[in-house]
């Protein structure tokens, strides 16, 4: 089997197993989604979902978050990893949304990346989830599983994103979510569930690959 054939078969199986894959973050609108994704960096979706109801109850709009007391925001998200930095970024982001985008969360990758605390991965995840945009976003799960399957040898998340985008070309929004769920529940960093893996024959290594 050639590399192209292997990639095509892996893509087919992921789409079959995770055809309706969506984020496990709980949100009601694009503002809440952006906040959730910002909080989820180096943190589990489960933990974010525990914290956000109280946060959104107190700050349901960018306008209110922009005016928030930093200590109150920190208190609300203190169980989240790096909560000090994230609290600062949330308030800065909200102020930028008010000042630069008329209080509306922007809808393009470059505009989202102009916001404090929003890198390419965060921007792509928002666009993937909210608009089903044809983007790939690479978190630790996507990085680990794509390397185990030999889909890329890239050392960084951004280069891995480029490699996967070129390899798969279409259905990237579904594939992103699929690889996240696959890495979270099957191809885990420690003790992967190989017996129930639907792409086991393509696995090259059980190493816990991490971006540099």
Q: What is the dihedral of CA 46, 91, 64, 61, to 10 degrees?
A: -50
DSSP notation for 28-58: SSHHHHHHHHHHHTTS-HHHHHHHHHHHHHH
Separate counts of helices (H) and strands (E) for the chain: 11, 0
Residue among 121, 169, 188, 210 flagged as catalytic: 121
Which residues lie below 8 Å from residue 127, measured CB to CB, with a gap of 6+?
Answer: 107, 109, 112, 133, 135
Structure-token match 């666009």, residue found: 127
Tell me the DSSP string of 91-108: HHHHHHHHHHSTTS---S
Q: Is 139 among the catalytic positions? A: yes
Candidates 3, 69, 139, 171; catalytic one: 139
- Cα–Cα dist 54/48, whole Å: 11
Q: Which residue has the tokens 């280069």?
A: 159
Let me know if 69 is a catalytic residue: no
The tokens of 106 are what? Answer: 């922007």
Q: Which two tokens stand for residue 138?
A: 């690479």
- Report whether 180 contacts 142 (CB < 8 A): yes
Would you please indicate which residues are annotated as catalytic (active-site) residues? Answer: 121, 139
């Amino acid at each position: 089997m050639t590399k192209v054939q292997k990639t095509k078969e892996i893509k087919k199986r992921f789409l079959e197993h995770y055809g309706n894959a969506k984020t496990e973050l709980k949100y009601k609108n694009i503002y809440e989604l952006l906040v959730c994704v910002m909080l989820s960096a180096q943190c589990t979706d489960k933990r974010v979902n525990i914290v956000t109801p109280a946060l959104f109850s107190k700050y349901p709009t960018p306008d209110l978050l922009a005016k928030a007391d930093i200590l109150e925001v920190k208190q609300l998200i203190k169980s989240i990893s790096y909560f000090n930095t994230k609290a600062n970024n949330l308030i800065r982001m909200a102020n930028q949304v008010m000042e630069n985008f008329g209080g509306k969360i922007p809808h393009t990758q470059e505009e989202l990346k102009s916001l404090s605390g929003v890198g390419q991965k965060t921007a792509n995840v928002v666009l993937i989830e909210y608009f089903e945009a044809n983007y790939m976003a690479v978190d630790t799960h996507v990085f680990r599983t794509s390397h185990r399957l030999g889909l890329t040898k890239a050392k960084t998340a951004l280069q891995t994103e480029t490699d996967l985008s070129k390899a798969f070309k279409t259905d990237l929004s579904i594939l992103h979510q699929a690889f996240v769920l696959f890495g979270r529940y099957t191809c885990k960093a420690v003790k992967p569930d190989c017996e129930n893996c639907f792409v086991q024959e393509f696995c090259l290594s059980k190493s816990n690959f991490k971006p540099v």
